[in-house]
């Protein structure tokens, strides 16, 4: 019991953001970042026209109105360094320069994100044969590059990869910490993402706004499920302004409708940044409906920023839950996640999820929009599609000593 209490106190401090002295979240970004990022669909094959088109589509599609507020330009924009060592944007792909492109993004009321590496070379310089990325990393040019990207060009977010850092044999905690301090000194409020491809360690909570917990995502259900598992036990490190990054979304990139819904739902439940990775100029109405589900987004953007926990695991069928607003609000979000290739019935007991069933509760199905009248049932059951999910928003009375406070 004593050990449980100690673990609860530590986890509560982590969730509330008072463990150590975490980097301050950017103003207005205490909740997970939302936007679009270029890498999943375009890799290094980006240009000025593509970024402008995606920016425009974010607005005309209604995604900006739904909360998506960033356009993130990943690897592939580099054009070498000038005689003074300053980075140049690619003269053919980005003829008007990055500063003008950022200004265009800003003119649409959006934030702009950029990319670099902790070492000398970027990931794309090797893995995607984009040789112009050689020598484009931060190593040896830290202040020069960050002053240019964040102040002169005007970026509001930076993702820092680790390929070059790994190739140099750098110590990740030391390196990412010094980069984070420099970013904060140059332009306080810039969002900083550590892209180490695994959970870096609890030190990162004091350094960055988000950090990758996995290798690069793939547009396959098994890959989605693996990332969920990697993040399952990392909930103590998530809180306002500091979240576990499960990588960019693959919604609309080849999976089934139910798989896309499950993918988006679990990213929302586990407080991952919501960065669409599809081509916004060609997405279907179905994809748009998933990405703009306002009730699902509201869960992701809940101000408590309490990452969902897996509270029941029956193999292929799981029950995940998280409190909303605060741990005694009597409002929770529940995800019934079915990993199996066949539909399955998943049951849960509201009392085990902090809700006092005897005092009554109501439920909203976040995807079907079906509302359930007030109930005192001690158990609920739902049929969940193969590779699918049912997400419920439940409102009732919180148990005074509940799972979200003491375990």
Catalytic residue flag (residue 128): no
State the pLDDT at residue 405. 83
Q: Rounded to an integer, what distance in angstroms lies between the CA atom of residue 382 and that of residue 380? A: 7
State the pLDDT at residue 8. 39
Q: 78 is written with which tokens?
A: 């580099």
Catalytic residue flag (residue 233): no
Report the candidate in 175, 179, 326, 172 with the shortest Cα–Cα distance to residue 240. Answer: 326
What is the mean pLDDT for each group of 10 consecutive residues in the chain (407 residues)?
A: 38 37 50 98 98 98 98 97 96 97 98 98 94 95 98 98 97 98 97 98 97 97 98 97 98 98 98 98 98 98 98 97 97 98 98 97 98 97 98 97 81
First to last CA, the chain: 10
Other beta carbons less than 10 A from residue 376's beta carbon: 12
Report the candidate in 147, 161, 143, 285 with the shortest Cα–Cα distance to residue 216. Answer: 161
State the pLDDT at residue 116. 98
State the pLDDT at residue 248. 98
Cβ atoms 381, 344 nearer than 8 A: no
- Report DSSP letters for 265-306, one per residue: HHHHHTT--EEE-S-TTS--HHHHHHHT-HHHHHHHT-TT--
Report the candidate in 356, 349, 315 with the shortest Cα–Cα distance to residue 334. Answer: 349
Q: Rounded to an integer, what distance in angstroms lies between the CA atom of residue 215 and that of residue 194? A: 12
State the pLDDT at residue 9. 38
How many residues appear in the chain?
407
State how beta strands 371-375 and 361-365 pair.
Answer: antiparallel
Query: From the candidates 128, 216, 356, 365, which is the catalytic residue?
Result: 216
State the pLDDT at residue 29. 73
Query: From the candidates 74, 75, 145, 161, which is the catalytic residue?
Result: 161
Q: List, in order of start, the domains of the chain with CATH numbers.
A: 34-301 (3.20.20.70), 309-398 (2.60.40.1180)
Helix (H) or strand (E) holding 2: helix 2-16
Q: Rounded to an integer, what distance in angstroms lies between the CA atom of residue 12 and that of residue 391? A: 25
């Amino acid at each position: 019991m004593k050990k449980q209490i100690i673990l609860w106190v530590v986890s509560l401090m982590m969730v509330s953001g008072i463990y150590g002295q975490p980097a301050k979240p950017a103003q207005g970004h205490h909740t997970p970042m939302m936007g679009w990022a270029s890498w999943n669909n375009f890799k290094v094959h980006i240009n000025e026209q593509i970024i402008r088109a995606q920016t425009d589509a974010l607005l005309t599609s209604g995604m900006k109105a739904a909360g998506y507020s960033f356009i993130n330009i990943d690897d592939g924009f580099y054009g070498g360094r000038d005689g003074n060592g300053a980075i140049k944007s690619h003269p053919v792909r980005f003829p008007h320069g990055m500063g003008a492109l950022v200004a265009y993004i800003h003119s649409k009321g959006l934030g702009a994100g950029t990319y670099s590496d902790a070492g000398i070379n970027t990931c794309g310089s090797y893995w995607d044969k984009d040789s112009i990325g050689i020598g484009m990393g931060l190593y040896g040019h830290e202040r020069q590059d960050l002053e240019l990207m964040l102040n002169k060009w005007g970026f509001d977010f930076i993702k820092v990869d680790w390929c070059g850092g790994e190739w140099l044999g750098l110590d990740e905690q030391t390196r990412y910490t010094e980069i984070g301090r420099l970013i904060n000194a140059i332009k306080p409020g810039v969002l900083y993402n550590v892209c180490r491809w695994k959970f870096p360690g609890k030190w990162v909570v004091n350094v960055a706004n988000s950090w990758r917990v996995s290798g690069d995502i793939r547009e396959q259900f098994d890959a989605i499920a693996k990332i969920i598992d990697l993040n399952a036990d990392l909930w103590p490190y998530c809180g306002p302004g500091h979240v576990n990054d499960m990588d960019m979304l693959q919604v609309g990139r080849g999976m089934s409708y139910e798989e896309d819904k499950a993918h988006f739902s679990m990213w929302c439940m586990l407080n991952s940044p919501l960065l669409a990775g599809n081509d916004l100029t060609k997405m279907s109405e179905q994809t748009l409906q998933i990405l703009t589900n306002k009730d699902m987004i509201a869960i992701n953007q809940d101000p408590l920023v309490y990452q969902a926990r897996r509270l029941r695991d029956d193999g292929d069928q799981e029950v995940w839950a998280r409190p909303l607003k605060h741990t005694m609000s009597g409002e929770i979000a529940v995800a019934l996640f079915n990993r199996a290739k066949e539909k399955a019935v998943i049951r849960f007991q509201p009392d085990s999820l902090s809700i006092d069933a005897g005092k009554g509760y109501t439920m909203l199905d976040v995807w079907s929009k079906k509302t359930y009248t007030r109930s005192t049932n001690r158990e609920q059951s739902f049929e969940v599609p193969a590779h699918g999910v049912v997400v419920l928003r439940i409102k009732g009375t919180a148990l005074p000593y509940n799972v979200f406070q003491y375990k």
